[in-house]
Chains A and B, each alone.
Chain A
Amino acid sequence: RKEVEQDPGPFNVPEGATVAFNCTYSNSASQSFFWYRQDCRKEPKLLMSVYSSGNEDGRFTAQLNRASQYISLLIRDSKLSDSATYLCAVNPPSGGYNKLIFGAGTRLAVHP
């Protein structure tokens, strides 16, 4: 089983739609969780951290479910510019430094 798993998609949604992605992780002792956005042939860019109580940043909401070992990303009112690959990243117990394990990404395509 992979340490971090994501549905590769693609998710094809119309502008204005709400879309949600999940990401599961295998190490129950994982400490920190993140969502990154990656545009085609570019580097991943940090979208948001995921906090235990859930957190929101504009149209984006991230949730953590420790019991079921998954994190989620909800995008409301999708824009064409949201089209990208969304990578989840998990910081497993690793001696105190910030090593991240990434999922393979979920591709989102927003169409007019």
Chain B
Amino acid sequence: DTGVSQDPRHKITKRGQNVTFRCDPISEHNRLYWYRQTLGQGPEFLTYFQNEAQLEKSRLLSDRFSAERPKGSFSTLEIQRTEQGDSAMYLCASSLSPDTNYGYTFGSGTRLTVV
């Protein structure tokens, strides 16, 4: 496996349900990012992990959102009590520090539809 993996690829859920997405970064990468992208917009930063520590959360990440990265490997993003406005593509990316001169690699994303 040489890329960032995300699961599931697609998720349809009813409003009010909880959903959880998983991201497996490139194995040696210690930095992991979650982004959200809606139609016609660029990816918006949600949160960042360095190893297992969550170092920044965007104000886009309401109390209904929680992300974890136990043991500094894979990460999960949970959305509780989903709303229709949560419908979006959720993208995960990883990188290796220090790397401010390099962009990072995204996974294929999880497309969430809340009905």
User: A residues engaging B (CB < 8 A)?
Assistant: 4, 8, 31-32, 34, 36, 41-46, 49, 87, 89, 91, 94-105
B41 contact set on A, CB distance < 8 A: 104-105
Pair B56/A99 contact, Cβ less than 8 Å? yes
Contacts beyond the supplied A4-B42, A91-B100, A99-B56: 13 A-B pairs with Cβ under 8 Å? A32-B100, A32-B102, A36-B103, A43-B91, A43-B106, A44-B91, A46-B103, A49-B103, A87-B42, A96-B100, A97-B31, A98-B95, A99-B33
Considering the complex, give the chain A residue whose CB is closest to the CB of B4.
A43
B106 contact set on A, CB distance < 8 A: 43-45
A42 to B43, CA, bound (A): 12
Number of B positions contacting A (CB below 8 A): 29
A42 to B55, CA, bound (A): 27
- Which residues 12-67 of B have a CB within 8 angstroms of A? 31, 33, 40-45, 48, 50, 55-56
